[in-house]
Amino acid sequence: MDHQNHLQDPANRMVALSNSAATYLRFFWAGVAKSGQTGAIVPSQRFLIARMIAPIPETYRGRIIELGAGTGALTLRLAAKCPEARILACEINPVLARDHRCNLAGAGLSRRVELFTGSAERLLSELAQTRAEKPDFIISGIPLANLGETKALALIDSICQALGEGGMYIQFQHSLLDRKKVKTCFPNLRTVPVFLNFPPAVVYYALKQERVPPGA
Ligand SMILES: C[S@@+](CC[C@H](N)C(=O)[O-])C[C@H]1O[C@@H](n2cnc3c(N)ncnc32)[C@H](O)[C@@H]1O
């Protein structure tokens, strides 16, 4: 039975609703108890998610990495938009990662979307040691402003190294404070406000410029 038919049954709908309420509550609790790490008390909402995934073509067949995936609000929409993409999501908080995994299973996406439970820093350093294909898109909801300058700059640098040439790093924040930090690695940066989200956000679109060989 596919996900849509499964939800036609009222009993299954009740179970799905109570699961999603519980997921929301656990996210809220993470936002209170680990506020610096979580950076929000509710998952991103649809207008912000739509802005975050807008540059990725529906026909994209390559790899997308999502850092700070929370309970999967963005991941599920991304997977629905880009059915041929291979998505690798990463979440540091094991409680949120467990909910993320359940949400993937509920949407029948467990095989297409891979979830790494651990820090983005660890994932990126593991990827750097392999010859894995570099993604054209890295999406992140990690609250950079709460990391502190040194850690934020190191993370942005690892993101830049992990991204394919000409690729795009898409980050949302709740302020413009990190603009300068992102610009150190990504001079080609555009920011767009999203007011229809709680709290309002700013999306950073950062392009990794192709390196021009010296003398070219
Ligand atoms: C603002 S929430 C965004 C969650 C989700 N992407 C959304 O849009 O609803 C930020 C998420 O980043 C995770 N996070 C924070 N630091 C991280 C790190 N160093 N590595 C991986 N995830 C991290 C938090 O646990 C939290 O789930």
Band (10; pLDDT cuts 50, 70, 90): low
Least Cα distance to 20 among 116, 78, 12, 40 occurs for: 12
pLDDT at residue 7 is higher than 80:
no
Lowest mean pLDDT among 14-23, 29-38, 163-172, 174-183: 14-23
171 within ligand 1 shell (Cβ under 6 A): no
The Cα–Cα gap between 143 and 30 comes to 13
Task: Give me the mean pLDDT over the 18-22 stretch.
Answer: 79
Domains and CATH numbers, the chain: 42-207 (3.40.50.150)
In this prediction, residue 132 carries a pLDDT of 85
Mutate which of 38, 119, 170 for ligand 1 pocket (most atoms within 8 A of beta carbon):
38
Burial 81-111 (b: 16+ CB within 10 A, else e): bbeebbbbbbbbbeebbbbbbbbbebbebee
135 within ligand 1 shell (Cβ under 6 A): no
67 within ligand 1 shell (Cβ under 6 A): yes
User: Chain-wide mean pLDDT for the chain?
Assistant: 92
Task: Give me the mean pLDDT over the 106-120 stretch.
Answer: 96
Q: What percent of the chain has pLDDT over 70?
A: 88
pLDDT tens profile 170-213: 999 999 999 999 999 999 999 999 999 999 999 999 999 876 65
Band (20; pLDDT cuts 50, 70, 90): confident
Band (154; pLDDT cuts 50, 70, 90): very high
The Cα–Cα gap between 94 and 117 comes to 6
155 within ligand 1 shell (Cβ under 6 A): no
For residue 46, how far is its CA from the centre of ligand 1 (angstroms)?
17
Lowest mean pLDDT among 17-26, 59-68, 186-195: 17-26
DSSP codes of every residue in 16-57: HHHHHHHHHHHHHHHHHHTHHHH--SS---HHHHHHHHTTS-
Question: For residues 131 and 136, which has the higher predicted lDDT (pLDDT)?
Answer: 136
| Ligand 1 atom, smallest distance to 155 CA | 19
39 within ligand 1 shell (Cβ under 6 A): yes
Structure tokens at 57: 């073509």
Spell out the residues 6+ positions from residue 71 whose beta carbon is closer than 8 angstroms to its own: 23, 26, 27, 43, 96, 99, 100, 103
For residue 132, how far is its CA from the centre of ligand 1 (angstroms)?
23
120 within ligand 1 shell (Cβ under 6 A): yes
